[in-house]
Amino acid sequence: DTEVTQTPKHLVMGMTNKKSLKCEQHMGHRAMYWYKQKAKKPPELMFVYSYEKLSINESVPSRFSPECPNSSLLNLHLHALQPEDSALYLCASSQDSQVILFFGSGTQLSVL
């Protein structure tokens, strides 16, 4: 299994809603990432978990809250988002011995 699975594929939420994005991989990768991608832009790193510990938080607003319950799962909890947070949210994973990022297909988020 060489897939990173993200759910849901699409999400529409209001500014007062609370929602969560989920990511799962069964490749045994010990690093997992959240990226944000705006249209026609490269992916922008938000968070990195390495061995289930938060290693990087790229000064992301607290309305985004990551969680890594175990080595296969990564969540991104969303609360009180702004319309400018509308984007494609990508999860990725990598193994320490490799230099490849494996990306999921993303969650297309629209904040109304």
Partner 1 sequence: QQQVKQSPQSLIVQKGGISIINCAYENTAFDYFPWYQQFPGKGPALLIAIRPDVSEKKEGRFTISFNKSAKQFSLHIMDSQPGDSATYFCAASRRAGGYQKVTFGTGTKLQVIP
Give the residues across from 33 on adjacent strands: 48, 92
Question: Which of 56, 60, 73, 80 is the binder for partner 1 (CB under 8 A)?
Answer: 56
Number of residues in contact with partner 1 under rule CB under 8 A: 27
99 makes contact with partner 1 (CB under 8 A) = yes
- Closer residue to partner 1 in complex, CB, 17/75: 75
- Closer residue to partner 1 in complex, CB, 40/69: 40
Tokens of 108: 């297309």
**Minimum separation from the CB atom of position 32 to partner 1 (A):** 9
E-state strands within the chain? 4-7, 10-13, 18-25, 31-37, 44-50, 53-57, 64-70, 73-79, 87-94, 102-103, 107-111
Question: Which of 8, 18, 26, 51 is the binder for partner 1 (CB under 8 A)?
Answer: 51
